[in-house]
């Protein structure tokens, strides 16, 4: 399956720009978010708070990638793409 994806030409070259934009924005958003979360803790608890935040980031990133991959990549058994999670959950067929 990975080779199939690698062999296809880029169908949507604009996705790279969108991905860059999201990554750039996420990078700037995380700094104040972590500052606010750690600023609410007393200084003696900053180490454990930082560790917890990094654990959540390390777990949440791959979980989000897995969920998006499951929702939008073709099903290996049928070869059909899923359109949306609600359509899959309700059992409506893909068109």
Q: Is residue 47 part of a domain?
A: yes
For residue 53, tell me if it sits in a domain: yes
2 occurs within a structural domain: no
Could you tell me if residue 6 is inside a domain? no
- State the pLDDT confidence band at 48, using cuts at 50, 70 and 90: very high
pLDDT confidence tier of residue 16, bands split at 50, 70 and 90:
confident
pLDDT tens digits for range 80-95? 665 555 555 555 555 4
- Residue 78 lies in domain: 14-90
Domain assignment of residue 75, yes or no: yes
Q: Does 35 fall in a domain? A: yes
Please report the DSSP string for 39-75 in residue order: HTS-GGGHHHHHHHHHHHHHHHHHHHHHHHHHHHSBP
Tokens read off for 91: 């059992």
Between CA 82 and CA 95 the distance in angstroms is: 10
In a domain? residue 39:
yes
CB 81 within 8 A of CB 74: yes
Per residue in 54-82, pLDDT (tens digit) is 898 899 888 988 888 877 777 667 666 65
Contacts of residue 80, defined as CB under 8 A and 6 or more positions apart, other chains included, come to 74, 94
The count of structural domains within the chain is 1
């Amino acid at each position: 399956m990975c080779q199939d994806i690698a062999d296809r030409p880029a169908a949507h070259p604009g996705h790279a720009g969108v991905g860059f934009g999201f990554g750039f924005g996420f990078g700037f958003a995380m700094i104040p978010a972590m500052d606010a979360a750690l600023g609410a803790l007393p200084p003696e608890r900053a180490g454990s708070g930082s560790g917890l935040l990094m654990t959540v980031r390390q777990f949440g990133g791959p979980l989000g990638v897995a969920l998006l991959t499951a929702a939008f990549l073709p099903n290996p058994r049928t070869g059909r793409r899923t359109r949306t999670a609600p359509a899959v959950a309700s059992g409506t067929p893909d068109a």
